[in-house]
Structure 1
Amino acid sequence: MDKSGTIIVIEDDPDDQHVLEEAFNELGYLNKRIYFLDGLSALDYLYTTQDPPFLIISDINLPMLNGLELRRKVQTDAELSLKCIPYIYFTTAINKQIVIDAYSTSAQGFFVKPSGFEEIKETIKLMVDYWKRCAAPNNF
């Protein structure tokens, strides 16, 4: 995990992408952000990028490869798992089974998207600040 690395956001709603980018901008994070509309594009990027990722923030309901399937692939791929990229779900999809399924993939967080901009911004700040303070095996 490179704390100055790229924040990967996988969100299939362009309006939500815009709101998230506004929140990141207002919070003043300098990390580059890359947005993907589906899990398969994000996975292709993870396999090919030379940029060190910092976080993955993923919706659950995604076309082509949903957030749960993507997390399983990242978790079980030897090359990707060594990058120690925190995987956080940020979704409107919420029920007991989805939360159980998310944590069965060893997710590092599950957050429900609030409806208001200020709450979204507070949640993003909580996620990013937490991981900026955490130690990871590849930080040494």
Structure 2
Amino acid sequence: KITATAVAVEADVDRATLYRFHEPILVQIRKINDTAPRTQLKAQRSELAEAEAKLKEYRKLVEEAQAEVAALARINYRLDLRIHELETQLQVRDARIVDYQKQMRAPTTLQKVVTLPNAGDGETLS
């Protein structure tokens, strides 16, 4: 804020001299002081409007990012389920391989089962 005292000090004159002989300068000081708050208010309103526009844009970006995160979370969940299914299948496969390896290493005993064609009571020969 500009004051008559500050102007008088800057001009190296007495303040009373300013009031007695330089009325146009006092009018300009008052005009500046009256318009300065309005100008500042207008500038602040403009800055506020810009800030609100940026805030709106940032909110939109946040919403888009949140939607993307939610979509990625759903994909991640499905992939985790699929990984679990595949791990289970691998465990079953590995168990079968171990069983087959045991069967291959075990001594084989051949046992023939012969069914007699006319045996009514289901006789079998070993």
TM-score with structure 1 setting the length: 0.19
TM-score with structure 2 setting the length: 0.21
Q: Which has the higher contact order (CA 8 A, sep 6+)?
A: 1
Q: Which has the larger radius of gyration?
A: 2
Give the helix-richer structure, 1 or 2. 2
Give the strand-richer structure, 1 or 2. 1
